[in-house]
Amino acid sequence: MRTIKLLATLQQIDLELDADRRKFAENKEAMTPPEGLKKLLAQVKAAENEVTRWQKERKLREEAVALQQAKIKEEEARLYSGRIKDPREQVAVQQHVESLKRHLETLEERALEALMELEKSQATLTQLRQTFEAQKATWMTRREALEKEQEAIVAHARRLKAKRETITKQLPAADLSQYEAMRKKLGGLAVVKLNGRSCGGCGASLPTSVVQQVQAGEMTKCPICGRLLS
């Protein structure tokens, strides 16, 4: 097989390998959790903290209610025990009981407020978790598909590399070195097809002499872009 044909085959293999690398990199990027999912997770964590805060606050307020109720019960027991003989002391204790009850109402309102806030925060957490799990499931399904695609890309690239090695072993070292240098310089495209009388790389119309050299299988470069023509 003539050198130019080997290089053209090598160029096609390298283009496929380049495409595999790009696709592999794109898939790898797509496999990372999306920003929207990360933000949702952060919102779930914040909602969990909010639920915990209101659980603690509710407990504290209910304990305050229970303590106030115990104080009222104690004072009422003292008031109605018959042990207080002094009318003025009885009035004072009665007033104290009434004051304790008024404060109890405030404490009960605060306890109810904590319960309502807890229920609201729990509802928010439930909604966020459902949204997060739904989006996570969608992403995981996509990730699994990408993982399979990555495996296929790796297998394809492995086969291409084996073919590439076979081709490079048949090429003269100088020609292979020139090809590699041109690939690096010309954006990965060192060998292009002759399309009629036009260069398949830059599209320039080529002189008849150049076309004839290419058709004869000679190592010929496009006089405009410098790529090898096949």
User: pLDDT by residue (tens digit) across 175-208?
Assistant: 999 999 999 999 999 999 999 999 999 999 999 9
Using CA atoms, how far residue 186 sits from 22, 88, 128, in Å, is 18, 107, 51
Entry pTM: 0.72
Question: Which pLDDT does position 58 carry in this prediction?
Answer: 97
Task: Band the pLDDT of 170: cuts 50, 70, 90.
Answer: very high
N-terminal to C-terminal alpha carbon distance within the chain? 13
Q: Which tokens in the block code for residue 2?
A: 């003539």
Separation of alpha carbons 188 and 168, rounded Å: 17
Domains (ranges, CATH) in the chain? Answer: 1-19+172-230 (no CATH), 31-170 (1.10.287)
Average pLDDT, rounded, for the chain? 95
Q: Residue 100 CB: number of other CB atoms within 10 A? A: 17
pLDDT exceeds 90 at position 85:
no
* pLDDT tens digit sequence for 106-126: 999 999 999 999 999 999 999
- Over residues 123-169, the pLDDT tens digits come to 999 999 999 999 999 999 999 999 999 999 999 999 999 999 999 99
In this prediction, residue 2 carries a pLDDT of 86
Q: Report whether pLDDT(1) > 70.
A: no
* Percent of the residues in the chain that have a pLDDT greater than 90, as a whole number: 93
